């Protein structure tokens, strides 16, 4: 039995008992039954509002999940990006750097005679040389253009 049904049952009992609502006890019982009726309507309204809010929250959660999936898919697409090593042009000038997003640091790339691709920064370029971690050969760099020589 729902709260509304219980309230209606009590009202029916009061009416069925034919209580004298003019006596003190009758007035009190009638007031209590009226109060229970009012509370029942309020509780029912609150339950309906709560259900409506819950439904809205479920829709918002679904929307947020869709947004999260969309964002995660974009990040996955970016993470899956892998340069094809077959596109490496042997005639390219490997001294020229490219930026990884940090404007303060340029990363350079060189290919050792052993085939190892080595990344290094401007500090190593200024030192003028480095040792290949694969074969141990010393690689030397010059800050001058070959055209000037």
Query: What stretches of the chain adopt beta strand conformation (E)?
Result: 98-99, 106-111, 117-121, 129-131, 138-140
Radius of gyration of the chain (CA): 40
Which of residues 58 and 82 earns the better pLDDT score?
58
Confidence at residue 140, expressed as pLDDT on a 0 to 100 scale? 86
Tally the C-alpha atoms within 13 A of residue 79's C-alpha that lie toward its C-beta: 6
pLDDT tens-digit series, residues 113-122:
898 888 888 8
Residue 78, Cβ density class (10 Å: 0-12 exposed, 13-18 middle, ≥19 buried): exposed
Measured between alpha carbons, how far is 119 from 19 in angstroms, rounded to an integer? 96
pTM beyond cutoff 0.85: no
């Amino acid at each position: 039995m729902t709260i509304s049904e219980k309230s209606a049952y009590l009202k029916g009992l009061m009416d069925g008992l034919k209580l004298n609502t003019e006596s003190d006890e009758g007035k009190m019982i009638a007031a209590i039954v009226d109060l229970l009726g009012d509370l029942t309507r309020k509780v029912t309204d609150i339950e309906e509002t709560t259900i409506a809010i819950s439904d809205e929250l479920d829709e918002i959660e679904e929307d947020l999940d869709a947004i999260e999936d969309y964002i995660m898919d974009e990040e996955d697409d970016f993470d899956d990006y892998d340069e094809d090593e077959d596109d490496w042009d042997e005639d390219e000038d490997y001294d020229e750097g490219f930026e990884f997003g940090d404007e303060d640091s340029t990363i350079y790339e060189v290919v050792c005679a052993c085939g190892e691709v080595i990344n290094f920064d401007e500090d190593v370029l200024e030192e003028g040389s480095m040792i290949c971690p694969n074969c141990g050969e010393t690689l030397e760099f010059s800050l001058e253009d070959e055209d000037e020589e």
